[in-house]
Amino acid sequence: MFRPLSLLLLCLFPLLARAAPDDQAQLRIQGSNTIGAALAPALVKGLLESQGARQISIEATATANEIQVRALSPDGHPLRVDIAAHGSSTGFAALKSGQADLAAASRPIKASELSELRTSGDLNSAAAEHIIGLDGVAVIVHPDNPLPQLSTQQLAQIFAGQITTWETLGLGSGPIHLYARDDRSGTFETFKALVLDAAGQHLATSAQRFESGEQLAAQVRADRQAIGFSSLASVHGTKVLAIADGASRPMLPSPALVASEDYPLSRRLYFYLPPSQNNPWARALMEFAQSAKGQAIVTGSGFVGQQVHALKVPPTEGMPKPYRALVRDAQRLSVNFRFQEGNASLDNKALRDVQRVADFLRRNDKLEHGVVLVGFGDAKHDQERAALLSRLRAMAVRRELAKEGVTLREVIGLGDELPVATNLAEEGRIRNRRVEVWVY
């Protein structure tokens, strides 16, 4: 399904080496500030290095949040990549107007944007939507703030202006100062969807808004009354709070909990490449971002890469008996399989994860009878139906892994046990529909 990066670059190298006219960029990326501030330039630099380019430089322009990456190709031609990081929505607008070849987004494309870009092909397809890494929206306060955790319900009340003082939360004194990203930001869109919209709330007009996550974090770090939210890569010395959603336990945005997308405010980072786009640089960068070198750059930039790891899980109270046995004797892989909304088909990330998991099992000699799949779902009135649906999800993953030569040890369906999100909102129900991978 996916062409190996080395083969792709070999095929494209003659095209990549050709320089555009001096007044044009070989590649134009627009969109997310979370991605564009540092990650996108780092990925571009990594791609250029892999091509043997030299004299690579990352330069700020006269316009805030806009960057140029410049280099010389191996045969001495000038290369330039333009990156404008003004928010996820601006990336899709730039695709529509023809001002970008690739859109960077820290939230999934909206139905309205899909419709507006339909002449460019289906941007929801696996050929167009590429998850390049994972992030957690971190809720941040001043380093001296003693608050350890909040629920998503409390967060909604705070950012809607219903809880306005620290005394209401049982600590400190004085007003709560709200800091939020602007309306074009994918970080704000994620927070809005997972926190405010889920509670039927709107952001308080008193919140100060920022285009840049770095600016927001700096303001929170300087204000003892502050609370804000930011990408993991731009918390910059602030204190990060643990977050609970519904019946889930409070979770910090640790790499493991973000990688599995169990952390309540986890999100995906995207490159969107329209199927009609024929710029070879755009496709090469997208494939490089998925490669082992690209994922190492994602991790090195402060985000969470999609490399598969085996992790020992500590036992906790309330674990069902089959799960306790896994915790005792097996290790959990750092990936959850999730599904397209409304059906049992694997989503675009899961399609890539099938190959990642199979490669991990192959490297560790676990292809035959070393794996247990555990399916989960959202709450149903009929517990037997919930258990059946969760097992069917695990069976869907089994079918895909079988194509890669994986023979399972067992398939388990645990219904609505161990929720990672509230079942009162659709976003939470979708996140609870997942399949974990355990290895012996």
Residue 227 corresponds to which amino acid? I
Q: Which residues contact 221 (CB under 8 A, 6 or more apart)?
A: 142, 143, 236, 237, 238
CA 426 → CA 230, 423, 431, distances in Å? 23, 7, 9
For the chain, domains (ranges, CATH) are 5-132+269-300 (3.40.190.10), 136-257 (3.40.190.10), 308-439 (3.30.1330.60)
CA 372 → CA 328, 338, 347, 396, distances in Å? 14, 16, 20, 13
Whether residue 18 is predicted with pLDDT greater than 60 in this model: the reply is no
Percent of the chain's residues with pLDDT above 70: 95
What number of CA atoms fall less than 13 Å from residue 318's CA on the CB side?
7
Tokens standing for 76?
């001495």
- What pTM was computed for the model? 0.87
Average pLDDT, stretch 130-143? 97
Q: What is the pLDDT of residue 25?
A: 94
Give the integer Cα–Cα distance in Å for 166 and 429.
31
Kindly report, residue by residue over 411-420, the tens digit of the pLDDT: 999 999 999 9
Kindly report, residue by residue over 226-264, the tens digit of the pLDDT: 999 999 989 999 999 999 998 888 999 999 999 999 999
Q: Which residues contact 144 (CB under 8 A, 6 or more apart)?
A: 224, 239
Give the integer Cα–Cα distance in Å for 239 and 399.
43
